[in-house]
Amino acid sequence: MNDIFATYESEVRSYSRTWPAVFDRALGSYLYDEDGTPYLDFFAGAGALNYGHNNPLLKKKLIEYIERDGVTHGLDQATVAKRDFLATFNEKVLQPRGLNYKTQFPGPTGTNTVESALKLARKITGRESIISFTNAFHGMTLGSLSVTGNSMKRGGAGIPLVHATPMPYDDYFDGQVPDFLYFERMLEDSGSGLNEPAAVIVETLQGEGGINSSRPEWLRGLYDLCQKHGILFIVDDVQMGVGRTGPFFSFEEAGIQPDIVCLSKSIGGYGMPLATTLIKPEHDVWEPGEHNGTFRGNSPAFITAAEAFRQYWSDDALERSTLAKGERVGQVLAEIAEEHGGAIAKGRGLARGLGFEDSNVAGKVSKAAFDRKLLLETSGPSSEVVKVMPPLTVSDEELEQGLQVIRDSVKSVLA
């Protein structure tokens, strides 16, 4: 029955190769294949399913909305659904955190928000160059790709990707070099050859790059450096935002207020496409329609997003639960790492990983876990890290069950 995919779908498909099952239904932490076999999902749509699959609280509102023929496709028209999104987002998320942003709907995917952020930063500053970081991942369209590190992805562009300069991410040199030594020196030396940057774009924790977590003080140092040099500060929170690391925004712990924030994936709540670009009001220099797109107003996703704000961000319960579960995952991964030389536990919140020296191990662990009906993905430049990213709504039992499978899978590979 897989013939259909092999025959009709492009060779570019990838997850269907990692997990050779045909999935049919999904609920909470589980995906079910067409035979009804449940798979515990510790990947959560690459961070798009923080509230779990088909979250019943959101589903209720979604069906109500569809049933009553609420606007589905709204371009960037004013709609009741969008208004509710904007009001609720400000009330539940931004204002309690002392943040003041205008919201752009730049098209419903991560790469749309990144492209809009880069365009806006260039418009504001009149400069072209962007500072990105080693092992960054920001998306597959040309602008986003130019700030992405992975050489295979970059190669796919087919044209030289220029206009961006990679800088070392936190701890890139294992502590051998003071933070920002290189970046700061290049900025201050008018003979360095560094093109004057419009902006820095940074993930506070690199998911695709290998679950590399930056320290709050590093992030703050980078932020201060940008402030000092008039460089805009963009946080790509597409994968790490919406609670993945605990707080709604992954940069909260660092106590900074980025100029522009990119959100997508879990912002829609129910796994439907949505993205927002948050812009400090003084930077909102767009002309009407200067950046547009057909699916900016994916209204069903506004509905589920707003309901998610109400359900999960009216208090700090989810944040605390995520941090607690994250601690537990971290503890188990550390134990596993200790048992097996050459492994290392990485990450924070519920964005965790287990890195292996031998870059073949992670893929084998993922495969062993799949045999045990657990979905785990790898990341990192050589796919050397097993990514552990369950839904934030995972139950303690599911968590323990998944962690045990990880333990067993690692053991089976390294035994």
Regarding 157 and contact with a second copy (CB under 8 A), the answer is: yes
What's the rounded Cα separation, in Å, for the pair 274 and 269? 9
φ, ψ of residue 277 in degrees (nearest 5):
-115, 120
Q: For residues 260 and 332, which CB has a smaller minimum distance to a second copy in the complex?
A: 260
Tally of CB atoms within 10 A around 272? 18
Length of the chain: 415
- DSSP H or E stretch at residue 120: helix 110-125
Both structure tokens of 345: 């536990």
- Residue among 36, 98, 175, 191 that touches a second copy (CB under 8 A): 191
Q: Quick one: how far is CA 134 from the chain centroid?
A: 16
Q: Which of residues 278-297 bind a second copy (CB under 8 A)?
A: 279, 284-295
User: CA dist 326 to 114, 218, 243, 354, Å?
Assistant: 27, 21, 11, 13
Considering only the stretches 121-129, 318-326, 343-351, 388-396, report the one whose residues sit in contact with a second copy under the rule CB under 8 A. Answer: 121-129
Q: Which of residues 167-186 bind a second copy (CB under 8 A)?
A: 168, 172-173, 176-178, 181-182, 185-186
Q: State the minimum distance, in angstroms, from the CB of residue 208 to a second copy.
A: 9
φ, ψ of residue 226 in degrees (nearest 5):
-65, -45
Q: Which residues contact 56 (CB under 8 A, 6 or more apart)?
A: none
Considering only the stretches 115-123, 225-233, 362-370, 399-407, report the one whose residues sit in contact with a second copy under the rule CB under 8 A. Answer: 115-123
Regarding 129 and contact with a second copy (CB under 8 A), the answer is: yes
Q: State the minimum distance, in angstroms, from the CB of residue 99 to a second copy.
A: 12
- Residue among 153, 229, 373, 411 that touches a second copy (CB under 8 A): 153
Regarding 197 and contact with a second copy (CB under 8 A), the answer is: no
What would the x/- binding string for a second copy be over residues 219 to 258, using CB under 8 A? -------------------x--------------------
Considering only the stretches 119-127, 246-254, 308-316, 326-334, report the one whose residues sit in contact with a second copy under the rule CB under 8 A. Answer: 119-127
- Closest by CA to 235, choosing from 320, 313, 147, 312, is 147
Q: For residues 210 and 330, which CB has a smaller minimum distance to a second copy in the complex?
A: 210
Q: For residues 235 and 279, which CB has a smaller minimum distance to a second copy in the complex?
A: 279
Regarding 367 and contact with a second copy (CB under 8 A), the answer is: no
Q: State the minimum distance, in angstroms, from the CB of residue 90 to a second copy.
A: 6
Q: State the minimum distance, in angstroms, from the CB of residue 291 to a second copy.
A: 5
By the 8 A CB rule, do 109 and 101 touch? no
How many residues interact with a second copy (rule CB under 8 A)? 156
Q: Which of residues 330-349 bind a second copy (CB under 8 A)?
A: none
Regarding 31 and contact with a second copy (CB under 8 A), the answer is: yes
By the 8 A CB rule, do 388 and 353 touch? yes
Q: What 3-state class would DSSP assign to 91?
A: helix
Regarding 99 and contact with a second copy (CB under 8 A), the answer is: no
Q: Which of residues 304-323 bind a second copy (CB under 8 A)?
A: none
Please, what's the b/e burial string for 217-243 (b: 16 or more CB within 10 A of its CB; e: otherwise)?
A: ebbbbbbebbeeeebbbbbbbbbbbbb
Q: For residues 330 and 355, which CB has a smaller minimum distance to a second copy in the complex?
A: 355
- DSSP H or E stretch at residue 262: strand 260-263
Regarding 20 and contact with a second copy (CB under 8 A), the answer is: yes
What's the rounded Cα separation, in Å, for the pair 175 and 224? 20
- Residue among 38, 54, 334, 401 that touches a second copy (CB under 8 A): 54
Regarding 53 and contact with a second copy (CB under 8 A), the answer is: yes
Both structure tokens of 378: 């790898």
Regarding 104 and contact with a second copy (CB under 8 A), the answer is: yes
Q: What 3-state class would DSSP assign to 356?
A: strand
What's the rounded Cα separation, in Å, for the pair 415 and 399? 24
Regarding 151 and contact with a second copy (CB under 8 A), the answer is: yes
What's the rounded Cα separation, in Å, for the pair 302 and 134? 34
Task: Please work out, in degrees rounded to the nearest 5, the angle formed at the alpha carbon of residue 411 by the alpha carbons of 21 and 41.
Answer: 35
Regarding 324 and contact with a second copy (CB under 8 A), the answer is: no
Regarding 200 and contact with a second copy (CB under 8 A), the answer is: no
Q: State the minimum distance, in angstroms, from the CB of residue 293 to a second copy.
A: 6
Q: Which is it for the CA torsion 330, 413, 343, 135, positive or negative?
A: negative
Regarding 198 and contact with a second copy (CB under 8 A), the answer is: yes
Regarding 122 and contact with a second copy (CB under 8 A), the answer is: yes
